[in-house]
């Protein structure tokens, strides 16, 4: 598919739905990009599982302090009022329901909101990690992902076939083709690329897309 959003554009679109002052955890890898695209006039407070609250952008190359890293082992800076705390206290914040939003990547998302975002395959990791806490501790869980796998198979399915991170936890999915909500066990299409027909999008989706009201065009800037 040549006509699709880049990872940066998907991250930009997800960032537009983060409220001012929200406490946010971004998953390792691609989701970390969301922090670059906070809308003007809004300031999220970013949390990382290894024990920092209110960290900022990556420092310029060569100016990293490698005692200041996020959960993905990437160098970060600190904003005024930033705090450090023990790893266990960080997870107490997660499990205590103190995060407003978690934005994670995905291998698969089921129409009932089940999420699979870890694997023990050849390139997998040895365990599910902190994601299983985040998906049930954060007040809202969103996913950013390509709409299909590298070999063209749907990532949005009627049920997950990979190990599940959390059950019925995802409420919105931002893909390279669409924005889709999960409501009452169904995928509800909210936005799609104007160049893509509904039938074409459905053919790339492994479960039925429901329409409730109008479907807006998915419009993002060049970023």
Choosing from 19, 32, 49, 111, the catalytic residue is 49
49 is catalytic: yes
Tell me, what DSSP letter sits at residue 147? S
- Per-residue exposure over 9-47, b if at least 16 CB sit within 10 Å of its own CB, e if not: bbbbbbbebbeeebbbbbbbebbbbbbebbeeeeebbbb
No. of helices (H) and no. of strands (E), the chain: 4, 14
Q: How far apart are the C-alpha atoms of 112 and 133, rounded to whole Å?
A: 19
φ and ψ of 217, to 5 deg: -75, 140
Q: Which residues are catalytic?
A: 49
């Amino acid at each position: 598919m040549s006509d699709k959003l880049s990872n940066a554009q998907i991250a930009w679109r997800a960032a537009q739905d983060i409220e001012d002052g929200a406490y946010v955890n971004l998953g390792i890898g691609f989701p970390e990009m969301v922090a670059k695209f906070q809308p003007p006039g809004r300031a999220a407070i970013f949390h990382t599982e290894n024990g920092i609250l209110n960290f900022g952008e990556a420092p310029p190359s060569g100016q990293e302090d490698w005692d200041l890293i996020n959960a993905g082992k990437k160098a970060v800076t600190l904003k005024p009022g930033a705090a450090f705390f023990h790893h266990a206290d960080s997870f107490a914040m997660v499990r205590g329901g103190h995060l407003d939003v978690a934005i994670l990547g995905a291998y698969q998302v089921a129409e009932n909101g089940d999420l699979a975002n870890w694997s023990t395959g050849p390139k997998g990791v040895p365990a599910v990690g902190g994601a299983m806490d985040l998906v049930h501790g954060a007040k809202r869980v969103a996913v950013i992902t390509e709409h299909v796998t590298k070999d063209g198979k749907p990532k949005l399915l009627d049920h997950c076939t990979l190990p599940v991170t959390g059950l019925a936890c995802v409420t919105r999915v931002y893909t390279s083709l669409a924005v889709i909500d999960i409501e009452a066990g169904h995928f509800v299409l909210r936005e799609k690329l104007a160049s893509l027909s509904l039938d074409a999008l459905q053919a790339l989706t492994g479960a039925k897309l429901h329409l409730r009201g109008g479907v807006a065009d998915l419009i993002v800037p060049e970023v």
